Structure formats: structure tokens, C-alpha cells
A = this chain, B = another copy of it.
Amino acid sequence: MVETIEWTPSGVVMIDQTRLPLHEEYVTCRNYEEVATAIRDMIIRGAPAIGVAAAMGVAIGVQYAAEDGLDAQMETICDTLAKTRPTAVNLFWAIDRMKRLYATLRGQPIAAIRERLISEAKLVREEDIAINRAIGKHGAPLVPDGKTVLTHCNAGALATAGYGTALGVIRAAIETGKKIDVFADETRPFLQGARLTVWELQQDKIPTTLITDNMAGHFMKSGRIGCVVVGADRIAATGDVANKVGTYSVAVLAKENGVPFYVAAPISTLDLTLTSGDQIPIEERSAAEVTHVFGNLVAPEGTAVKNPAFDVTPFRYVTGIITENGVAHAPYEESLKRLAGK
């Protein structure tokens, strides 16, 4: 299994997700600014993976911070990382976790602080893999045997520290002996489905068929799809789910065709401070992502573009939210709070 992100003595090493699947290359971020750039440029992406990257970004930032004015430098490091991408709440969750730990360490020798922050960042990574295994265990029974699972974007090993959320559920279902195959939406504009999901499922020899996003409805209508499983970037207290743009469409089509629609995400993706998905900030990315594919212009020069990177699926389309602590069902206000231990 490929490693999405690792702490090494020379820096934070990530597989470059802008280069997959044709090139398997690794990037070493040697300071926190490089980690921030990697997040912003989607060298690493996927809400849980962004969380791990942010934790490691804080840790590497403090490695090279001077002892004098450490508090202020810690602030700058965290602010820089927090400004990379607005939607995935795991980014802010991880930064907050590092900040809270740092607050308990103030006054200790800087070497001790540095060491403790590194081990915490490594722990965030290890916990993420364990969380994904637990998500898989809870989700596996929900996947209908002998059918096709549709997924959108990449909520796999590459979107996490390993194993994946949505793809973790698929992996776990297969580990329990279920005979399933996968339909992967290509997921324009960034093509995470075509480039990343197909690639990582091929590594695991899980039978996968690539379709364009606009074909998902056709195959749901045909009866071939047993369930949909996707990841999430932020989930409001109501159960409204922000995820990769196109998720809302898949959810509506699933409901229309009686196909269960599951969201697989760690508790760290919950934002219980939000009383509606409408409050989730939606990142607008550059027009070039839409007008260019692999560097080729596919539209006329000067084309006006909208490029929201995410959309919000209202809770009424969500059959269940699969977390490491169990599966939440409607009413989500209660079930999510309970699973979050709040």
C-alpha cells in the first residue's frame, strides 16, 4: 500500500496527487510554508489527509522556529496553514489539536516541545488509519452483496493517512467476503476519481469501472448500483454534508432511484457548531481547473467559469453517516452528538 503522507527526518513526505496516476512521485516539504503550499495546490487533498498534513505542518514549523518569540511564531505557523483551504474542517481540527497541546507545553525546553509536537503529529496520522479501519468495520454490513458501489471523488487511502473512509468501507466489505465492484465517478474538474480512486483500487485489485460524472444517474436508474458511499469535508450538526462538488447530485439521484446514500467520515469531520450546511464556506477554485485538462485548453479563450470545489447535500438525502464510533441515522442532531460523545 502506498503511503499518502509520512514524517521523515528530512521532512514531511507526500505522494504528489497532482501527478498521479501517470507519475508516482514524492514531495518532501522541508518547512511549514511548503506544507501549506502542498495543501493549497492539492499535492495532498482529502479532508482527513489535510488534517494530518496540517498537524505535521505545525510540528515542522516549530522544528525550525527560534526559541525567542515562539508563541508568536506558533501563531504564524497555524494561521498560514489555516488559510490554505476553507472547507474541510479537519484542517482546523488538527491545527486546534496542535495548538491545545502546545498550550500545555509552554515553558518546557524547546527540544521537548518540538519532540512532543512531532509525536502528536505522528499520532494524528496513526489514529487516522485506525479510525478508517473502524469506519470500514461499521460500514461493511451496509454494503449490499453482489452489487456495484458507486463512489464520487476520492475518499480513499490517498485522501487519508491510509485505508480510506468511503473506500475503507468498500475494502472492509470485501474483507468480509462480499463480492462487489466499484463504479468511480471521474470527478471533474480535478479528476480525483479517474486519477486517484481508479489507481488505488487497481493496486488492491478491486474491480473498478470509470464513468463520467454525468453517467451516475443513468446507472442508478438501471438498477446496477447497490449503494453510494462518499466521504465528507465538513458535516453540520443537522447532518448536512459538504463534500466534493457533484456529491449533491449523486445524492438526489440516489434518493430518486431508491439507492442508499452513505457518507463515511471520521468524527473530526463533524462541525457541531453549524446548524445548517448553508453555513459551510465553499471554496471557489481557479477557472483554469475547468478550462484546462492536463494543461490543454478545452474551452474557448476567455471563457467565464464557475468552479465551486464543494457542494452541500442536505441531510434528507443521507441514508446514514458512517463514523469510527458507529453509524448515525436521522435525526442527525441527536445521533451525531451521541457518536461524537457530546
Contact = CB atoms under 8 A, between A and B. Distances in A.
Interface stretch (A33-41, A87-95, A101-109, A192-200): A192-200
- Decide if the interface of chain A is mainly helix, strand, loop or mixed: mixed
Given A188-B188, A291-B210, A305-B210, A298 B195 contact: yes
Contacts of A212: 188-189, 213, 245-246, 290, 307
A211 B249 contact: no
B209 A304 contact: yes
B186 A218 contact: no
A207 B256 contact: no
Nearest to A188: B212
A187 B186 CA distance: 13
Given A291-B210, A299-B21, A248 B221 contact: yes
A293 interface: yes
Interface residues of A, number: 54
Interface in A194-224: 194-195, 198-199, 202, 207-219, 221
Contact of A293 (B290, B294, B300): B294
Nearest to A294: B296
A30 B195 CA distance: 41
Contacts of A189: 212
B256 A252 contact: yes
A74 B311 CA distance: 54
- Quick one: which of A183, A297, A304 has the most chain B CB within 10 A? A304
A21 B300 contact: yes
A253 interface: yes
Interface in A233-259: 245-246, 248-249, 252-253, 256
A253 B300 CA distance: 28
Interface string A299-320: 1101111111001000000000
20 contacts: A186-B188, A187-B214, A194-B299, A195-B299, A202-B302, A210-B305, A211-B290, A211-B307, A212-B307, A214-B214, A214-B246, A215-B307, A215-B311, A216-B249, A217-B252, A218-B245, A252-B252, A293-B293, A293-B294, A294-B296
Given A210-B291, A215-B245, 5 more contacts: A188-B188, A189-B212, A199-B299, A210-B305, A294-B298
